[in-house]
Amino acid sequence: MNIDRKKHWQFLEDELKAETEEFKKTYLTTAISLLKTSQEMYVAQFISFKDGEMIMKFPISRALPRKGDFLVCMVLPPELQDYRNWGDKTYRDLYNARYNSTECVCIWHSPANDPRYSLVGFSKVSVDFANYIKETPNIVLTFAPQRPPIDYVMNLQKVVEDKYSKGVASVLDANYQTKDWEPILIKQDNVSGFVYSQMTLTDTMILEGPPGTGKTYMIAELCARLCAEGHSVLVTALTNRALMEIAEKPAVKPLLHSHKIFKTNITIDELREIKDLETIKSIAPMPGCLVMSTYFITSGYAADLTVEQPFDFVIMDEASQAILPMFAASRKIGKKNLWVGDIHQLPPIVILNQDRIKFCNYKPLVEGLKLLADNSSSPIYQLTTTYRFGQRSANYTGVFYNDSLVSNESKRFNDLPSMCKILSNKGGPTLILTDMPSGDSTPQFAIDMASYIVASILNDSPNKDIAVLSCMKKTTRALQMAITQKVGSKKNLIVDTVARVQGLTTDITIFFVPDYSYIRTLEPHLFNVATSRAKEHTIIIVDKYVLDCYTLNKNVRKYLEMLKQEKSIYIPDTEHGLGNKNIIESNIDKLLTS
């Protein structure tokens, strides 16, 4: 199968149009409407920076940003800092008028001394923006929805248009022949040494890394060795968080102390986290140095590149999140490439309608790593030792990896007395079956039960890192509201959609699955991500008839059937979701502790 360059370009053009049209509804809406009606825009007063976080004071008379929300923060001209002067101006008008801006993410809420206000913390604020405002206490800032990655798509269009690069041609013009394959399992301890030796034999290598298998440690060790030999190395990933995790690893500390690790677009909290990290405004190869940059910036470097393969090595982390042209960009940049990802977790997020993707046969272009893995003529390797959780968890997550996962150590957990009757002391998943109304994405009884479980865990162990995950935004919002009412806002508690947490590690995960379109809510990639975040316990809350659904993916079905037989409990909705909460909680408590 050959994919014409015109098709590559048209896919990106269709995605660009979809992103633009989707955002245009918000971008061209009046700002005052986004502030007061749809509550997508916010105005707040800057207080200070503390520990790398920007602290803002929000009035409680309006909605606060959700924890985990990615936003654009803007310094507007003085006359527009008062929203009463916005008039008919749109989001676009305010954005074009801004003096300075940064992307940021909401990470916590806390009551202020004045009960009329709430304090909200933000991370990922750029150093340039922080320097711009930190000497201006009490300045009023405006927060708005994050803009889509339009530049990223346009950069990849330029890569597709490059007819001279052999690296680009090796990916985009290849004749893809689907084959049956099994990855070669890596079972030895010195993984980075094995990968190093294999890369001497090939220009490109694909490494599949299931959850918790030490991908980041391996990449750091490999980078340290390559840089010590004087090679120029570029590591690129979808998220800044993935890059920072590599820079934190012990193997690259000598490089850090020698000021040989450079990162683009450094934020104030990143500099605080790793003080020896060097900032670099644009990507450039340097012998013996490690350069780190996201796909968004790396794609622009590849698009403008006139010299073929200036870097000795390019390592793509989170490669399952890259669309196919990004791999072409990687091959254009590096003489040797290592692509590290997991085709059994979330594919890239695109805005383009799924019907359009199916009609135009764009799926191979979207799921780039899967296409390359399914059609590669080179051997593909898979890590097998998981360090995140014990063997019981590894057995369940291993359902998605041909039962190939082995835990590095056996673990025991006995520190949650209120849940000890239903949780395994070996850790891993527990299935809670209950009564959920069909078609209801916010089943009240089950939501109350999830809230009660969170409260019980925090009462037993206040410092546990907990994630409550669901696949639907509406469900997540209902969970957030109920849990916040029950336990308040906690820094160690995340309530979010599964699609936003790939790469997250927690102590305990609660995966909430309403009886609503199981094709969506129990989609296998999402299920695998949701159930492999926790180091200790995963609690799955689902309707008692879930296994009657004939559309369940075979691996999801196998996982749930195993769990139902081995570790499950049924908690009926005796009050039909409408009873007194005290009675409901009393009934739940009896079942959990009996």
HSE (CB half, 13 Å, CA atoms) of 537? Answer: 25
Q: Which amino acid is at 41?
A: M
Question: What are the mean pLDDT values of the chain's consecutive 10-residue runs (594 residues total)?
Answer: 91 93 90 92 94 92 86 96 95 95 91 92 92 88 92 96 95 85 86 94 94 95 98 96 94 96 92 90 96 97 96 97 97 97 92 92 94 84 94 96 92 88 93 94 94 94 96 94 89 90 91 93 95 96 95 96 94 68 63 61
Closest CA to 120 of 130, 110, 128: 110
Q: Would you say the C-alpha torsion 182, 331, 280, 73 has a positive or negative sign?
A: negative
pLDDT of residue 138: 87
Burial (CB < 10 A; 0-12, 13-18, 19+), residue 113, is exposed
Place of tokens 């008039």: 87
Q: Which amino acid is at 139?
A: I
> Rounded to whole angstroms, how far apart are CA atoms 156 and 327?
10
Q: Which two tokens stand for residue 433?
A: 């079956």
pLDDT of residue 221: 97
Closest CA to 436 of 562, 537, 581, 570: 570
pLDDT of residue 502: 79
> Rounded to whole angstroms, how far apart are CA atoms 565 and 431?
10
Identify the helix (H) or strand (E) that includes residue 171: helix 166-172
CA dihedral 113, 118, 119, 124 (to 10 degrees): 180
Burial (CB < 10 A; 0-12, 13-18, 19+), residue 100, is middle
pLDDT of residue 587: 62
pLDDT of residue 269: 87
> Rounded to whole angstroms, how far apart are CA atoms 450 and 483?
8
Whether the CB-CB separation of 214 and 385 falls below 8 Å is answered with yes
> Rounded to whole angstroms, how far apart are CA atoms 34 and 28?
10
Long-range residue pairs from 176-180, CB within 8 A, at least 24 positions apart, any chain: 176/1, 176/2, 176/3, 176/364, 176/371, 176/374, 176/375, 177/1, 177/375, 178/1, 178/374, 178/375, 179/374, 179/375
Neighbours of 47 (CB within 10 A): 16
Q: pLDDT digit string (tens) for 134-167? A: 878 889 999 999 988 899 999 999 999 999 999 9
> Rounded to whole angstroms, how far apart are CA atoms 594 and 591?
5
Instruction: Name beta bridge partners: 320.
Output: none
Whether the CB-CB separation of 275 and 301 falls below 8 Å is answered with no
> Rounded to whole angstroms, how far apart are CA atoms 468 and 540?
10
pLDDT of residue 142: 97
End-to-end CA distance of the chain: 60
DSSP at 239: S
pLDDT of residue 445: 92
Place of tokens 């090939």: 202
Q: Which two tokens stand for residue 414?
A: 């006995």
pLDDT of residue 591: 63
Contacts of 431 (CB under 8 A, 6+ apart): 540, 542, 560, 563, 564, 567, 568, 569
> Rounded to whole angstroms, how far apart are CA atoms 476 and 495?
7
Instruction: Name beta bridge partners: 571.
Output: 434
pLDDT of residue 399: 97
DSSP 1-18: ----HHHHHHHHHHHHHH
pLDDT of residue 589: 67
Closest CA to 385 of 372, 368, 404: 404
> Rounded to whole angstroms, how far apart are CA atoms 485 and 465?
18
DSSP 445-458: HHHHHHHHHHHHHH
pLDDT of residue 581: 58
Q: Which two tokens stand for residue 307?
A: 């010299």
Q: pLDDT digit string (tens) for 525-566? A: 999 999 999 999 999 999 999 999 999 999 999 999 999 999
> Rounded to whole angstroms, how far apart are CA atoms 327 and 369?
8
> Rounded to whole angstroms, how far apart are CA atoms 461 and 338?
41
Q: Where are the alpha helices (DSSP H) in 29-87?
A: 31-36
Whether the CB-CB separation of 124 and 269 falls below 8 Å is answered with yes
Neighbours of 584 (CB within 10 A): 21
